């Protein structure tokens, strides 16, 4: 695999592109001429870096003929696509994004560092969005069975979905000594 192209290799690439060879043919010709092992993609990448990629013909390989769709009986419905259609315009996407409702909570966090958190403190994170900004945590007393205080617990769950089961502590007991 060649990492650096010699100037004479780049000149030969320009020459072969001017002749209208495909990138596969160019790679084969370069390899035969200079005893290298350039791939088709290497030739394409070098041509792009030299600003020559738009002048070459694309590599056209024989493709199998397209299959004709099967004839449907009269009155039969066209099968529905399972893939959702792409948005029709950028404006439609912007309108959909504008409908997003953000939920917030009216609690003043204590902004504790991770090492300052106690066992029963809320672990809801704040900060860390900007480069170098420290991450702090809420620190208020947490809700039973959760890592968060009541306000942050309701913020982190979907409002219309109830949890399947509540988290709880299970006491462990030794059944048999080894």
Global confidence as pTM: 0.35
In a domain, 23, yes or no: yes
Inform me whether the pLDDT recorded for 18 exceeds 70. Answer: yes
Question: In Å, what is the CA distance from 1 to each residue of 6, 12, 21, 29, 110?
Answer: 13, 18, 22, 16, 57
Identify the pLDDT of residue 17: 92
In a domain, 169, yes or no: no
Split at pLDDT 50, 70, 90, the class of 74 is: low
In a domain, 50, yes or no: yes
Identify the pLDDT of residue 87: 58
Average pLDDT value over all residues in the chain = 77
In a domain, 123, yes or no: yes
pLDDT in tens, 142-164: 988 888 888 888 887 766 666 56
| d(C-alpha 79, C-alpha 77), whole Å | 6
What is the domain count for the chain? 2
In a domain, 100, yes or no: no
Cα torsion 142, 144, 146, 150: sign: negative
Let me know how long the chain is.
178
Task: Please tell me the least confidently modeled range out of 54-63, 69-78, 110-119.
Answer: 54-63
Domain that holds residue 26: 7-55
Inform me whether the pLDDT recorded for 37 exceeds 50. Answer: yes
Task: Read off the pLDDT of each residue in 5-32 and give the average, rounded to a whole number.
Answer: 92
In a domain, 30, yes or no: yes
In a domain, 139, yes or no: yes
Identify the pLDDT of residue 12: 93
Inform me whether the pLDDT recorded for 55 exceeds 50. Answer: no
Task: Read off the pLDDT of each residue in 90-113 and give the average, rounded to a whole number.
Answer: 68
Give the pair of three-digit tokens for residue 17. Answer: 């592109």
């Amino acid at each position: 695999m060649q990492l650096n192209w010699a100037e004479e290799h780049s000149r030969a690439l320009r020459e072969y592109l001017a002749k209208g060879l495909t990138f596969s043919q160019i790679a084969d010709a370069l390899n035969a001429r200079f005893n290298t092992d350039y791939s088709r993609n290497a030739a394409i990448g070098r041509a792009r870096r030299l600003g020559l990629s738009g002048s070459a013909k694309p590599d056209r390989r024989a493709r199998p003929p397209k299959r004709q769709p099967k004839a449907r009986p009269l009155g039969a419905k066209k099968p529905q696509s399972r893939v959702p259609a792409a948005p029709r315009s950028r404006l439609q996407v912007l309108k959909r994004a504008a409908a997003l409702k953000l939920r917030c909570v009216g609690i003043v966090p204590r902004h504790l560092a991770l090492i300052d958190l106690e066992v029963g403190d809320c672990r809801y994170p704040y900060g860390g969005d900007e480069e170098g900004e420290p991450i702090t945590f809420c620190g208020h007393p947490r809700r039973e069975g959760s890592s968060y205080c009541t306000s942050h617990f309701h913020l982190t769950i979907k409002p219309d979905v109830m949890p399947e089961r509540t988290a709880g502590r299970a006491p462990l007991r030794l059944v048999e000594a080894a």
